Structures are given as C-alpha cells and as structure tokens.
Amino acid sequence: MLTKLTIPMPDDWHLHLRSGEMLNKVLPYSSQHFARAIVMPNLPSPVVTTNDAKKYRQEILNNLPEGHDFTPLMTLYMTENTDPEDVHLGFLKDDITAVKLYPAGATTNSDAGVKDLEKIYPVLEVMEQIGMPFLVHGEVVDVDVDIFDREAVFIETKLIPIRQRFPKLKIVFEHLTTKEGVDYVLSCNDNTAATITPHHLVINRNAMLVGGIKPHYYCLPVAKRELHRLALIKAATSGDKRFFLGTDSAPHLTTAKESSCGCAGIFNVANAISVITQVFDNEKALDQLEKFLSINGALFYGKTVNSQHMNLVRSDHALTIPKNIKTSKGVVTAFDPLIDVYWQVV
C-alpha cells in the first residue's frame, strides 16, 4: 500500500476569502496548502473594477502569515456595466486574472449579477481576444426551474449560446455538480474547463436532507443525486486536463448557517487536500492526483506548475475533523466529509 506522496504544490482555482476578521482567520488555511488561488469577488461590496481588485489583493497580502508563500489571483465581478477597457488593461498589467459571472440572485452576494447576458457581450469580445478566462456560476435562477435542474438548464439555454457566439473564449465552468456538466465539458475543446470541489466529490444531496436538515452541507450549487457525484469522481480522477480543483471554500459563521434562512457555503479548505487524496486513493487513482491538484489548472490558466512541493503521508488511523475556527462574532464550522480520511499534509 502506498503510504507517501510528493506532488507539486497545489493551487486552488476557486476560493472565497471574505474580508476583515473572517479573511484574517481563514487565509492561513489556504496559504498553508496552496501556492496560488483564484479569489472570488462577491464581497458585500463586489470587486467590480481593477482598482477594487488591487485594493482587495493588498488586504489579502496584509493578512498573509509570515513565512507563507501564497499568490492571490484576483477576479472581477461581472456586471452589465463592466468596462471592457478596464478589463483589458487590468489583465495586461496582471492585476486581474479572470472575470466571474454570477447570474443575479444565484448565490451569496450575487444581487448585482447579470440578468441580460447580451449586455456583457462587449466584455466577452475583449476577453476572447486577449485570452482571458471567463468564470461562470453555471445556474439559471428562473423561479419555474427546480433548484436541482438549474445547472442542466443553464448549459442548454445560456452556456451553449455563449460558446457558439464566442468559440475561442476561455471558459471555466465553476463548481461542477452534474453528469450533464461533465458531459458538456467533455464535448468541448480545450477552451472549456471545469473546477470540481472536495465536497461535491464526497456528498450527495442525502447528506443535506436525510435524517433532518443539515445546513453545513448546504451549498450552491446544491449537491445532487449519487449518479452525479459518481460522474464527478470519474472526471476528476481521469487525469483529463479540462478538470481541476476549485475548493469553493466559503466560510460563514455557524449561526448564519444554522438559521431559518441559512447561508449557502461550506468551509472545506482546512482538510480539502486530505479529502481529495482519500477520494483518489479509494478510486485507485493516486497516479492522477497531481494532475487534478497541481497541473491541469495551471496549464489552463497559462501559469507554470509550481516548483515547490507538498508531501502527504497515509496514517494508519482515520484523521479527526479539523477544529472549528473561532472569531469574535462566533465560530465557523469545518467540513465533515462523512468518510474516513487517512491522508494528511506533512
């Protein structure tokens, strides 16, 4: 049995760091386990301009623990008023790496998102020309569409038309949750890729709904049926270069999760690497692990693979769940993957 692994330092291609005290508390978990991360822009006051992104990046760097080598890669929150020239210059100056689409009302702090996709076509035209990735939260928000069908309907009604209109645009289908999503990415060329989260690899919707409502497994997009989870595992462990890690780690105070209108989001970054490695081990696919964690995303984003390395060791006993994070306003509950996890970063 393989008990030790060394892989290039992983990257996180979808991460929520928040701001203020929450940023200060959660950042060390990311900067310890990842060399780079695509930082989501959906703060209460969204990151909508390059100047906003530069300020947010500085806030992150100001909170970086001493000795941690971590590069935040900044994104802009797409609105119907996003300035194509600002996007162009920000990308050329390496101040921003990508632009993120949130359909209005799709998830946390998405009210300022896009309602009419045609209004962002001028921005997409520029992004296609300069090779800038377009990150999509792939769900429709129509009230007549069941929440478990939002991703599949988005593909048919939104994503396929965008791809037809902009065939060379680099698109990342974020936090994939369905077999339909996997099949769509596999049908595309190398300009389309997808991130997959640790939690969608280990839970299906039963984790949230069976035996009582369990709000710490509520995320958006929501976990789906078991057949979709199995499709995600097959994609992640295949080694296909179009699939790579995006933790979508999204911290909320426990009181905000355990309420009559609980927040969507799972704080998983404290044990993300361990959980994913265990999934690959269970699938007898550890030889594909570094592609998913360390190589595929870097290549898609046009970055070099990290030269530093991470060591993992398989323990002879299951690891305990990471401790909850304490803040002045309450705690943040760490992700319980509901499986035995033996691999740990050393």
* Residue entry with tokens 């993120």: 100
294-325 pLDDT per residue, tens: 999 999 999 999 999 999 999 999 999 999 99
In this predicted structure, what is the pLDDT of residue 106?
Answer: 67
In this predicted structure, what is the pLDDT of residue 198?
Answer: 98
d(CA 281, CA 315): 13
Model pTM score: 0.97
Give me the long-range contacts of 303-308 (CB less than 8 A, separation at least 24). Answer: 303/11, 303/36, 305/8, 306/8, 306/9, 306/10, 306/11, 306/35, 306/36, 307/8, 308/8, 308/9, 308/35, 308/69
* Residue entry with tokens 């990471």: 322
Mean pLDDT value of segment 285-297: 98
Number of domains in the chain: 1
In this predicted structure, what is the pLDDT of residue 110?
Answer: 65
d(CA 264, CA 197): 14
Whether the per-residue pLDDT at 275 is higher than 90: the answer is yes
In this predicted structure, what is the pLDDT of residue 170?
Answer: 98
In this predicted structure, what is the pLDDT of residue 104?
Answer: 79
Q: Give me 161's structure tokens.
A: 């038309």
Q: Which domain holds residue 317?
A: 4-345
**Active-site annotation, residues:** 248
Q: Give me 185's structure tokens.
A: 């990415």
Residue 214: CATH number of its domain: 3.20.20.140
Q: In what helix (H) or strand (E) does residue 101 lie, and over which residues does it extend?
A: strand 98-101
34-90 pLDDT per residue, tens: 999 999 999 999 999 999 999 999 999 999 999 999 999 999 999 999 999 999 999
Q: In what helix (H) or strand (E) does residue 34 lie, and over which residues does it extend?
A: none
5-18 pLDDT per residue, tens: 999 999 999 999 99
| Residue 78 burial (C-beta neighbours within 10 Å; 0-12, 13-18, 19+) | buried
In this predicted structure, what is the pLDDT of residue 162?
Answer: 97
